[in-house]
Amino acid sequence: MEFFVQQAVLDAGVKIIFPVIRGMDNTVESDEWKAYRTRKLHELYEQYAELDVHADPVLEGFNILHDDTGVKRRKNIPASENLIKLLKKGQGEMFYINTAVDIYNLLSLESKLALGAHNIDKVDGNVTLRIDKNMFTDGTERFVPLGQTEPVPVAPHEYCYCDDSNEVLCRLEIRQVNKTAVDETAKNVFYIVQGNKATPDELLWDTARKLIADTEKYCGGSGEIVVPKVLT
């Protein structure tokens, strides 16, 4: 399995790396992890109490990225911004999904980057982050959002993560799918760590390293960071 990114996506301002974890146990929910998660959520809730998301360069950077690629803001709230809104609404509490998913959600809140996770064993072939319009106008792609059962269309100007079966795994950085959803049975996972023009490279890499470290600590397995090959 390899990872690719079109040069056009990088030119639009997307920054992307892929932490990969193999051999993890996602059935584990240790007391140590639950206590750490609870403490960090309350710390972040207090930290973001007065946060203006549109004044934060990294958060607003995703909105600017959407503007530049013709994506409407109102219907497409960046993933990390949406998580912060959920954290505030819950007053420092967030619903539990599973350990691997909660790890990346917590790190997305902390870093303000867009993070996601996908079950490697459900991916067909390789993963490509692309924006080539021709690939989205032939009617062959499939995008079945998480929680839905029927495919929905993807606009030709939107960047998407796709596998070799021409199925969308993540639309923009905001909507993942049923096909590769990470549940308690997942053993091998690739994470998405995505930034924008305002994202320092150091933040991107530090977040990826911490994502691997936390997953190895609380779920086991072994991780590495993969830099995608560029398609011109």
| pLDDT greater than 80 at residue 155 | no
Query: Is CATH 2.60.40.1220 the right assignment for the domain spanning 3-231?
Result: no
d(CA 231, CA 25): 34
Q: What is the reported pLDDT for 157?
A: 77
Please give the model's pTM, rounded to 2 decimal places.
0.93
Question: Residue for token digits 């079109």?
Answer: 6
| pLDDT tens column, 8-26 | 999 999 999 999 999 999 9
d(CA 167, CA 76): 20
Q: What is the reported pLDDT for 20?
A: 98
CA-CA distances (angstroms) from residue 183 to 26, 98, 112, 150?
7, 7, 23, 20
191 or 141, greater pLDDT: 191
C-alpha of 164 from chain center:
19
Q: Where are the alpha helices (DSSP H) in 77-182?
A: 79-89, 99-111
| pLDDT tens column, 188-228 | 999 999 999 999 999 999 999 999 999 999 999 999 999 99
For the chain, which residues make up each domain, given as ranges?
3-231
**CB of 13 closer than 8 Å to CB of 197:** yes
